[in-house]
Amino acid sequence: MTKATPEIEALAAQRLAHDEDRITGKAGPGRRTNVTLGEAWGAWWRHPSPPMISTALLAAVVARVVAGGGSWWELAIPVALVAMFPVIEWVIHVVILHWRPRRLGPVRIDSLLAREHRAHHADPRDIPLVFIPWKALLWLLPAYAVVALLAMPSLPSALSMLVAVYGIKLGYEWTHYLVHSDYRPRSMWYRGVWRNHRLHHYKNEHYWFTVTSAGTADRLFGTYPDPAGVATSPTVKNLHASDS
C-alpha cells in the first residue's frame, strides 16, 4: 500500500474532524443543518431501494402467513442470521464491493455493485450512492427467494428465512443511510457505528468494513486497528488507483 504523505495525513484528519464536528453539532455556522430522526426517515423513503425491499418483505410475510404450519425451530433462523450478519457483511464488503476490476481476455469483470461502491467512496456525501442500486435489487431480491427455497427443508421454513433476510437487508439500508445523513449520533451504539464507517471513508479503506455494527467482524478478521496507528490511505476516495 502506498505510504501517505504528511499533507495527505493532515487533509484526512481535517476531513474526518470536520465531518464529525458537523454531525455532532460542534462545528461553526458553516455546518450543514442537522436533521431529526423523523426527517431522516422521511427522506430515506424517497429513494428506490427502501420501497423495493419493503415490498419484498411484505410479500414474504404474507406468503409465510398463508403457508401456515412450520415449527418453533424456525425462530432460530432470524437469530442465527443476525448473529452471522457481521461476518456476512464483512465478506460482501471486502470481496464484492471492494472488488478490483479484472480482465479475462477481452472481457472486463467488474460488477455494477463494485462500480457503484467506488463512486460512493469518491463522494460519500452523494446520498443516492449510499443505497444498493435498484438495478441490482431487480435480480438480488428474487435470487434470495431461490436460495431460501434451496437451502431450507420446507416451504414454511424457506419463507421464514426470506422474511429474516429481507428484514436484515432493510435494516442495513437504513443504518448505512443514517450514517451518511446529517442526523446527529445519540446512542453509544450508533456513535460507534458512525465513527467506524467514517474512518473507513476518510482514513483508510482497508479497515473498518462492518457497517451495522462496530468492531465485530473487523476484530475477527484483523481490520479493527487503533486509528492513531493507521496511515491515511491516499486512495481512500479513489479505490484501487494504485493498481491502475
195-220 per-position pLDDT tens digit: 999 999 999 999 999 999 998 999 99
Do the Cβ atoms of 117 and 94 come closer than 8 Å? no
Residue 28: the pLDDT is 42
Nearest Cα to Cα of residue 110 among 125, 95, 94, 99: 99
For residue 16, what pLDDT band results from cuts at 50, 70 and 90?
low
Q: In this predicted model, what pLDDT tens digit does every residue of 70-102 receive, in sequence order?
A: 899 999 999 999 999 999 999 999 999 999 999
- What average pLDDT score do residues 222-228 get? 95
Question: Does position 116 have pLDDT exceeding 80, yes or no?
Answer: yes
Query: What integer pLDDT is reported at residue 30 of this predicted model?
Result: 41
Least confident of 26-35, 127-136, 180-189, 227-236: 26-35
Confidence band, pLDDT 50/70/90 cuts, at residue 51: very high
Mean pLDDT of 35-52: 96
Neighbours of 180 (CB within 10 A): 21
- Residue 109, pLDDT above cutoff 60: yes
Backbone angles phi, psi at 180, to 5 degrees: -90, -5
Q: Which sequence spans correspond to the domains of the chain?
A: 6-243
Q: Longest C-alpha distance within the chain, in Å?
A: 63
Q: Is the pLDDT of residue 6 over 70?
A: no
pLDDT of residue 91: 98
Residues ≥6 apart with Cβ < 8 Å to 215: 192, 196, 224
pLDDT band at 240 (very low <50, low <70, confident <90, very high): confident
User: What mean pLDDT do residues 159-169 have?
Assistant: 98
Examine the pLDDT at 31 and tell me if it is beyond 80: no
Stated as kind and residue range, the H or E segment containing 24 is helix 6-24
Q: What average pLDDT score do residues 27-47 get?
A: 78
